[in-house]
Amino acid sequence: MADLAIAQDLTANVIASGEGASSERLRFLYIKLVEHLHAFVREVELTPEEWLAGIRFLTATGQKCDDVRQEFILLSDTLGVSMLVDSLASRVASAGTESTVLGPFFTTDAPDVARGDEIARLRKGIPLAVTGSVRDPEGTPIANAAIEVWEVDGDGLYDVQYADRTVPDCRARVHTSADGTFAFGATLPVSYSIPGDGPVGAMLAALGRHTMRPAHMHFALGAPGFVPLTTAIYVNGDPYIDSDAVFGVKASLVGDYVEHAGGRYTLHRDFVLVPERVRAAT
């Protein structure tokens, strides 16, 4: 009992040390983090060996990060934290297209392409023609909305996973026309494995979990006066649609990639952005 009392006093002392936090929100987050973290340690009776293993795991996770790979985002994704944060943040956008995880392979060097241009410059995969529109909840077209698009190539790899990458591939920025529509050429998405060569991959293997994601194409949309949207459109019928390693699939984001004669595919998708004033009023 004495040891338990000491532990409780320790938690109270650690919480009290945050009284001088620079904001009430920071103080609140600090208190709740300490409360839940200490409660976890007490509940599982964490051993020194397990604590050290956890420290080593987090250290290795940080060491695996670089300019093109974010292992901590991958960890957050595979623990369902990214989707939980996304779900809480997107409650105000119920009138718009649903969001999903950003993923660890977004980059800021996507080139602008004209309407109808190809984003798969190396043409590794099955051709796909993508069309769609961006509108507000009332159906009014949103002109000149920016759409960041990125996907794996036909081999199931993002361009940044290639050591000899010199230019962006299978990623671009497109804009809507005056009528809110857009069009570009791409590659038919394929299911792929998230990186399994780091600490997150080792964690999943130890848990008996697979590393596969269902085929999808990422979209990040924005326009002045509207809430930014990060989402993806998943391939209907993909074998991993119900067991996504990062829990990113939502039923409304499963789309039909339609096969046509000659081995070509098409995807048509309409997106709805929510005005900022709606979020401000919530």
Instruction: List, for residues 161-220, the tens digit of each pLDDT value.
Output: 998 888 899 999 999 999 999 999 999 999 999 999 999 999 999 999 999 999 999 999
Q: What pLDDT sits at residue 140? A: 97
> Nearest 5°: phi and psi at 76?
-60, -40
Contact call for residues 186 and 128 (beta carbons, < 8 A): yes
Question: Within a domain: residue 63?
Answer: no
Of 126, 112, 196, 119, residue with least CA distance to 155: 126
Question: Residue 179, Cβ neighbours under 10 Å: how many?
Answer: 11
Residues 236 and 163 in one domain: yes
What is the rounded average pLDDT for all residues in the chain? Answer: 93
Average pLDDT over residues 243-258: 96
| pLDDT exceeds cutoff 70 at 91 | no
pLDDT at res. 122: 84
| Same domain flag for 42 and 121 | no
- Do residues 136 and 208 share a domain? yes
Q: Same structural domain for residues 268 and 184?
A: yes
Q: Where are the beta strands (DSSP E) in 125-202?
A: 127-135, 146-150, 171-175, 181-187, 192-193
Q: Choose between 228 and 89: higher pLDDT.
A: 228
Domain co-membership, 9 together with 137: no
Closest by Cα among 226, 251, 241 to 176 = 226
* Contacts (Cβ under 8 Å, ≥6 apart) of 282: 92
Structural domain includes residue 80: yes
Is there a single domain that holds both residue 143 and residue 24?
Answer: no
Q: Judge if 26 and 160 occupy the same domain.
A: no
Whether 280 has a pLDDT exceeding 80, the answer reads no
- Eight-state DSSP code of residue 48: H
Token readout for 172 is 């671009």
Q: Are the C-beta atoms of residues 158 and 179 closer than 8 Å to each other?
A: no
Residues 13 and 93 in one domain: no
Considering the domain architecture, whether residues 144 and 269 belong to the same structural domain is answered as: yes
At 123, the pLDDT band (50, 70, 90 cuts) reads: confident
Residue 52 lies in a domain: no
pLDDT tens readout for residues 102-119: 988 899 999 999 999 999
Average pLDDT of span 19-41: 97
Residue with tokens 């060569």: 197
Cα–Cα distance, 246 to 71 (Å, whole number): 13
CA neighbor of 255 nearest in space, from 206, 217, 204, 207: 217
CATH classification at residue 205: 2.60.130.10
Tell me, what's the pLDDT at 89? Answer: 80
Same domain, 24 and 108: no
Number of domains present in the structure of the chain: 2
Residue at 66 is within a domain: no
Would 134 be classed as within a structural domain? yes
Whole domain around residue 23: which residue ranges?
2-46
User: From CA 219, how far away is CA 100, in angstroms rounded?
Assistant: 10
Q: Is residue 53 part of a domain?
A: no
**Does residue 142 share a domain with residue 39?**
no
What is the per-residue pLDDT for 233? 98
* Token digits of residue 26: 């920071």
Taking the complete model, does pTM exceed 0.85, yes or no? Answer: yes
258-260 and 254-255: which strand pairing? Answer: unpaired
Report d(CA 142, CA 197) in Å as an integer: 42
- The answer to whether the CB of 180 falls within 8 A of the CB of 134 is yes
Residues 17 and 108 in one domain: no
In a domain? residue 54: no
Task: State how far the Cα of 68 lies from the Cα of 105, in Å rounded to an integer.
Answer: 7
Instruction: Give the C-alpha distances (Å, rounded to integers) separating 41 from 28, 54, 87, 181.
Output: 20, 12, 27, 53
Is residue 219 assigned to a domain? Answer: yes
Nearest to 99 by CA among 253, 220, 235, 230: 230
